[in-house]
Homo-oligomer: A and B are copies of this chain.
Amino acid sequence: MSADGGPRRLLIRDLAQLATPAGRGAPLRGVELGRVDVLEDAFLLCDDGVVAGVGRMHDLEPLAGDVDELDGRGLCAVPGLVDCHTHACFAGDRVEEFALRASGATYEELHASGGGIMSTVRATRAAGGEELVRAVRRHGRWMLRAGTTTFEAKSGYGLDLETELASLQAIREGGGVATWLGAHALPPEFDDADAYLDFALREVLPRAAELAEAADVFVERGAFDVAQARRYLEACRGAGLALRLHGDQFTEQGAVELAIELGARSVDHLEATGDRGVSQLADSAVVGVLLPASALFLGRPMPPARALVAAGAAVALATDFNPGSAFCESLPLVCSLAATQLQLSPAEALTACTVNAAHVLGRADRLGRLAQGYAADVVLLNAPDWRYLAYHLGGDVVSQVVVAGVPVELP
């Protein structure tokens, strides 16, 4: 609220450019994915947390009443970035495993050294709820520094009742959108995936469903197979959760077909997806979430992004931020990877980590565009052209972030 008690207004003026995905609705696909509206010498007016108007400076009419102003000279505005796939709730790190892998250690050697998901499960179980809240908040500040104003985060490093619930609670308290990744890996107490799922669906799901918006499962050799994933996801759907899948990261196990069959919001990773999966996804309403930072981090092949877009699939981009396979919270870097490794244009990349990512989180009606009525979440880029978001590889491109119409102090 402003000093006079009215709604708070903010005018961002004299922007070099204002760029926002064009097209209507979500998810965007095909040529619509690559259409971005660019206004030069632009303004953005925020009123009570919402975008009240955008336009060219010479069309700006005098504003009555109190308005805070932000000088946008030399800056470009894009929508606050939306990270729709992270594992931001964890304790500890995996820097030792990272160094061993860089030195050529095999998967088995990493495991023998105490690495892998289970090392993070141990650290996360050992952390209390308060430590997890602090971790999510710290990671959220890192993301904000990189222009992410909305992030999803998954549980999945607890895999027991107490830690899964503490993780989902920490994600909510830390400002994230919570996804229950109850089927991330088989915890050490169980030697049978079905027995673990019996437990998870009976004991954890009823309470997880009160904290999370979606459920997720890792469909992969050594994790969960399609039959197990179907049972898990159907139960989660029955409890009111939206559905997501980790699929085709290393091998095709049928995750794409299952995602389509169950009407999932997304299937994520797709590094191993072949032609058949590409065309199935293109004919569906499921969004393919691409995670190039993870492929880079592990030195693995990139997902077939260009083929997916060309076939008409809806794609989103996310970081996959996690301690083991993508210690990277930067969506600008992901946009650079999209342009250099995935053959996506900067415009396609922007749409993929704004409108389409918001759709994956069920928020495309209010996030992902700089247009009237949308949340006034804005990233101001230190650049003469908004495409520096992808062009300035590893650069410190984020100058300022506005959340719900309020400029925030960057950490």
Q: Which A residues lie at the B interface, using CB under 8 A?
A: 34, 93, 95, 98-99, 102-104, 142, 145-146, 293, 296-299, 306, 326-330, 332-333, 338-341, 343-347, 384-385, 387-388, 390-396
Q: A93-B384, A385-B95, A396-B146 are in contact. Are A391 and B327 (CB under 8 A)?
A: yes
Instruction: Choose from B146, B297, B299, B392 the contact partner of A327 (Cβ within 8 Å).
Output: B392
Interface centre among A102, A330, A343 (most CB of B within 10 A): A102
Please name 19 further chain A to chain B contacts, defined as beta carbons within 8 Å, in addition to the given A142-B396, A327-B393, A328-B393, sorted by A numbering.
A34-B103, A93-B391, A98-B339, A98-B387, A99-B345, A99-B347, A99-B387, A102-B339, A102-B343, A102-B344, A102-B345, A104-B306, A146-B396, A296-B341, A297-B393, A299-B340, A299-B341, A328-B394, A396-B396
Complex Cα spacing A156 to B329, Å: 36
A340, B298: Cβ atoms closer than 8 Å: yes
Complex Cα spacing A298 to B341, Å: 9
Min CB distance A70 to B, Å, is 19
**Hey, which chain B residues are within 8 Å of A332, CB to CB?**
394
B93, A385: Cβ atoms closer than 8 Å: yes
B98, A293: Cβ atoms closer than 8 Å: no
> Whose C-beta in chain B lies nearest to the C-beta of A398?
B396
Complex Cα spacing A95 to B146, Å: 20
**Hey, which chain B residues are within 8 Å of A103, CB to CB?**
34, 343, 345
**Hey, which chain B residues are within 8 Å of A388, CB to CB?**
93, 95
B345, A394: Cβ atoms closer than 8 Å: no
Min CB distance A324 to B, Å, is 11
9 closest A-B pairs by CB: A333-B394, A330-B394, A102-B339, A328-B393, A103-B345, A95-B391, A98-B391, A102-B345, A95-B385
Interface centre among A340, A344, A346 (most CB of B within 10 A): A340
Complex Cα spacing A98 to B338, Å: 12
Q: A394-B394, A395-B329 are in contact. Are A346 and B99 (CB under 8 A)?
A: yes
Min CB distance A78 to B, Å, is 14
Complex Cα spacing A366 to B347, Å: 46
Instruction: Choose from B298, B326, B340, B396 the contact partner of A102 (Cβ within 8 Å).
Output: B340
Interface centre among A103, A306, A343, A393 (most CB of B within 10 A): A393
Min CB distance A179 to B, Å, is 22
Instruction: Choose from B34, B326, B343, B384 the contact partner of A393 (Cβ within 8 Å).
Output: B326
Complex Cα spacing A332 to B392, Å: 14
Complex Cα spacing A346 to B328, Å: 16
> Whose C-beta in chain B lies nearest to the C-beta of A103?
B345
> Whose C-beta in chain B lies nearest to the C-beta of A102?
B339
**Hey, which chain B residues are within 8 Å of A95, CB to CB?**
385, 387-388, 391
Complex Cα spacing A95 to B329, Å: 24
Complex Cα spacing A191 to B25, Å: 54
**Hey, which chain B residues are within 8 Å of A306, CB to CB?**
104
Complex Cα spacing A330 to B394, Å: 6
18 contacts between A and B (CB under 8 A): A93-B384, A99-B339, A99-B345, A99-B387, A102-B346, A103-B343, A104-B306, A293-B394, A296-B340, A297-B393, A298-B340, A299-B340, A327-B392, A327-B393, A327-B395, A328-B394, A330-B394, A333-B333
